[in-house]
Structure 1
Amino acid sequence: MKKSLLLLLTGLITGAAQAAVGGYPVVLIHGFQPDNLQSKPTGEEVSSNGEQYWAQYWLDRADERIDWPSQERIANKITSDYVWPKLQQMSREGTCASGCVFVTHSTGDLVTRYIIDNQALWLQNAGMQPLNIVATFDFAGAGGGVELADLAVNVANGTGLIDATLKFAVSLWLGNTPTPSTIGVLNDLRVNSARKLAAFPDSRVPRLRFAGAGSDFLGATGAFLPGEDDGVVASHSSCGAASVGSYNSCSRSVAFDGNLTSVSAPSQFMPNHYPMLMSEGYSHADTILNNAKDEVTTANSSASYLNGDNLQFNTYEEKRGWWIFSSRYRLVRNSANTSMSSLIYQAAN
């Protein structure tokens, strides 16, 4: 009996250690879920949706999740009914007492920025200890806004120039044609709205960015997105650019496919935003899955957490092509057969 109990406790301790990133507890914040606009989940449905969202890779590597329904607004019910109770719980339990890492995807990037800007004041005013967030890992971040959200709102309200191609692109993304009563968080995702929401947090938490340039929709949505995109989010957002632009990379010296060449990229980034991994073949959804889609390169090979700890990727360079037609490429080691999420998890540990 004692031996069985000891084995059980050992397993629990080992599982907790495996969940951490570099010894820090992981908190997951998922992205926009289009089906929520019609189904309008509440309670346990929201939790179940959040669990399924991360199931393929990050779910078993996380300690906590903040789940939220996409039919609501960030500064309203998403915060009051879903974010705030979870922040209180994590403060009471000391989840982030020694530091924690938030892992976000898509709109989770924007939700997290709102949290970073407000959580310390909220918790202090409630007589509780603020969370010590040492870094965020932002996959396909939508914190800079999503042009498709602007188009979806126009389609729903019958405003702007609307044609069959635009309606088709929006319906591919959402799974249906939106109506004024099924917009929800799309209002917050409009480019101008997103960029105004908690744009300059007092907290200096590093936002580490991981971006792709593939597509989930065979390129049908890309025509409505400036520069390189992942099928949903343009690179100005996923890279964390300070302003909207038609950018083809997160770095002026390396393309999404790793080609070391001059390329259009942001000259400035949002406060404390640091683009790191990029890949030509990863779509919006691919970045958090456990499938290797393409080779991965670095916009920056290393970045520091708030407390000085470091995330670093092992890269190499090689020449491809022949004679004057050859080019040099920078790639992350083993990225051809390792998923982007796994590359990050391995580097962090």
Structure 2
Amino acid sequence: LGGGQYSLSNDNAAIAALLVAFFPRVPNDSLDNRYHNQAFRHLYVLATEERCLNGFEVDSGQPCYVPIELTLRKNALQIFNNMNFSSIRQEGMKTQKTKLRMITPCLLPPLDWIETVEVCSPRYMDVKVTRDGDLGVLLAYRVLCVKRKAGHLSYGNDQRGVSSLLARPKRSSDKMVMLTDSPHLLAFSRHFCTDASDNCGNSEEIEFSDFCSTVLYECLADEKPELINTFIELYHSVRNLPRGENGPLLARNINILTTFYGRHNMQPHKELVPLPFLQSINDRVEAILDHQSKAALGQYLKDHVIPSASFACFLCYYEIPGLYVLDELFPKGNPSFPLPVLALRNKGKVSTKALLKLSSATTKA
């Protein structure tokens, strides 16, 4: 009916139009007007109603298949009690509301029955339209605009989801053209996510290629591709920490970042930078700095001399205070104190991380 766009309404005016159009006895021929006027047969048009909902992707403007869930008003389930809808949820019987799953394009139930329309697909951004919101506009134009998440194909191109980025190995630079239209992500995948071992690359190149592939996978899976540059900067900051010109500043920034997310890891929201990634950075920084600078801490407490730039990174990362504060903790001639004594003498001037390092250095000294 109407090319699949229309259906028959069930209000009183529509029922009356259908009775007038179809109920009288069909005449014997086209000239028989004894029982029914021929023009009345076209009154069925008054009972039609456009109820086809179409989904469109906002990026490409192309129509797409979108799984949706409709919540109908109370007691609407009675209308369907004689129909076998496998997609009707059982909780509709408990709440006296019907939850009906459909896939656009589809014919909606009578529009005045609908309370909410919600997108229920992991491939698209969450959309929920209620009667208190823009449901009237949606039902008037019957166009549902959705945005596809990065790393997913549409249902027309990938019905079962076997070609999405989440179902592929992490190194998939040759398939990225199917998964995103962003020229930046395509260029990043082409230049940085190739397998360096196939090109006889050294260990650093292979490690960086694996890191870029993992970062690309994580960022697209969590829908945050703008953080790829942040991950790359953190990676290079850790590698250049001992020998970089801005080593102390980088060490301080990494310490602030790990401390901030360490204190907020119990919050219900999801962090932009995953906590396991920060923990791995923290472990690597500690391994680098402890290996190069731990022996020099005892000498620094005695002679008050910074031996190298990497030791300055060590001081910034572990928040070891200046000499004027250390002189209060360690009187000259006696730089060795156990941790409980340092905690009593601290009076809140030195962080716990710094106290642990100072205690281990002075005890060994």
Structure 1 length-normalised TM: 0.21
**Taking CA–CA contacts closer than 8 Å with sequence separation of 6 or more, which of the two structures ends up with the larger relative contact order?**
1
Q: Considering fraction of residues, name the structure with more helix.
A: 2
TM superposition score normalised by structure 2: 0.20
